[in-house]
Structure 1
Amino acid sequence: MMHADLIDEQDLLGQLRSLGFEVSGTAEQACSAAVCGLNEANARALKGLVEKLYTGSATILPAVRQAIDQQLLPGLVQFQQSKAV
């Protein structure tokens, strides 16, 4: 029997909570909430989480990947750009 590691919405929410973010709902809602009011430490933690997820061997389910691509990554970019101004 084959076993595949999957990252689903509950896994993502759990990982965000372990970083100290108060999130709930869908992956999209959680990612949107996580990027609200970012500070340097939170941004570093989110960046590390995204790197870990994308370079790991686990399969990221489409809804989770979409939430990261459409909410987390643009939020991190916006935060970095706002710091540079």
Structure 2
Amino acid sequence: MMHADLIDEVDLVNQLRSLGFEVSGSAEQACKSAVCGLSETGAQALKQMVEKLYTGNATLLPAVRQAIDQQLLPGLVRFKRT
């Protein structure tokens, strides 16, 4: 029997919360909230989380990948530029 690890929206929201972000709602809403008012520490934690998710063996469900691609990554880029 094959077992696949999946990262769904609840998993992503829980990971963001475990990093200290006060987020709720869908993956997209949570990612939007996470990048608002980022600190250097928060940006570094998000970067590490995204790297871990993208290089890990778990499968990211489409809504999670979309939220990361459209909210977290651009937010991190904007933070880096400021």
Q: TM-score range by the shorter chain?
A: over 0.9
- The whole-number CA distance in structure 1 between the counterparts of 2:81 and 2:38 is 12
Partner of 1:54: 54
Q: Give the TM-score, by structure 2 length.
A: 0.99
Secondary structure class of the residue paired with 1:13: helix
Partner of 1:5: 5
Partner of 2:72: 72
Q: Quick one: percent identity of the two aligned structures?
A: 78
Secondary structure class of the residue paired with 1:4: coil
Secondary structure class of the residue paired with 1:45: helix
Partner of 1:36: 36
Alpha-carbon shift at residue 2 of structure 1 (Å): 1.5
Query: Unaligned stretches of 5+ in structure 2?
Result: none
**Letter paired with 1:43:** A
Runs of 4 or more, structure 1, over 2 Å off, are: none
Task: Name the Cα RMSD after superposition.
Answer: 0.4
1:21-52 Cα deviation digits (max 9, x unpaired): 00100000000000000010000000000000
Query: Unaligned stretches of 5+ in structure 1?
Result: none
Q: Give the TM-score, by structure 1 length.
A: 0.95
Equivalent pairs counted in the alignment come to: 82
1:64-83 Cα deviation digits (max 9, x unpaired): 0000000000000000001x
**Letter paired with 2:47:** K
